């Protein structure tokens, strides 16, 4: 699944939240109704990779801003339903990558995807 949302908003847009609420109906991403809501993680055994592109340098986002939005997505949504491990790839300064930089990142991401399949 590929999900796009603007990182700079600091929170997910309403349509993405609505999608996740539908996916998280009882019996799929969360336990069946009446079950212990925090004890059952139906998507356990699956891993995830979050890839984020941004205009600022990735190091600045990770260290100065502490990757707040990414950590929130990982902990409050993916981790809550059982995804583990959750890996992240932050690609910063995308405006300055140029065609060679884009090709390099696409190659790296392609290899990561092939390893996961």
pLDDT in tens, 28-51: 777 666 666 666 777 888 898 888
**End-to-end CA gap in the chain:** 13
CB 83 within 8 Å of CB 23: no
Q: Please report whether residue 8 resides in a domain.
A: no
**Which residues are within 8 A (CB) of 54 and not within 5 positions of it... i.e. 6 or more apart?**
7, 8, 61, 90, 91, 92, 93, 94
2 falls within a domain: no
CB distance 25 to 42 below 8 Å: no
Any domain includes 11? no
Classify residue 110: in a domain, yes or no. Answer: yes
Distance of alpha carbon 56 from the chain centroid: 18
Pair 54, 90: CB distance under 8 Å:
yes
Number of domains in the chain: 1
Q: Can you list the residues of the chain whose pLDDT is less than 50?
A: none
Query: How much is the pLDDT for 99?
Result: 95
Is 30 part of any domain?
Answer: no
Domain of 49 in residue numbering reads as 41-117
Instruction: Let me know: does 60 contact 92? Beta carbons within 8 Å.
Output: yes
Domain assignment of residue 27, yes or no: no
pLDDT at 57: 95
Residue 25 lies in a domain: no
| pLDDT reported for residue 11 | 67
């Amino acid at each position: 699944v590929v999900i796009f949302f603007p990182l700079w908003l600091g929170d997910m847009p309403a349509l993405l939240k609505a999608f996740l609420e539908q996916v998280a109906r009882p019996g799929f991403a969360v336990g069946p109704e009446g079950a212990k809501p925090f004890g059952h993680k139906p998507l356990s055994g699956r891993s995830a990779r979050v890839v984020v592109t941004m205009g600022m340098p990735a190091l600045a986002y990770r260290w100065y801003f502490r990757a707040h939005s990414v950590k929130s997505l990982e902990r409050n949504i993916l981790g809550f339903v059982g995804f583990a491990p959750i890996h992240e790839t932050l690609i910063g300064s995308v405006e300055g990558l140029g065609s060679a930089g884009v090709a390099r990142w696409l190659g790296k991401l392609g290899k990561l995807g092939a390893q996961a399949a």
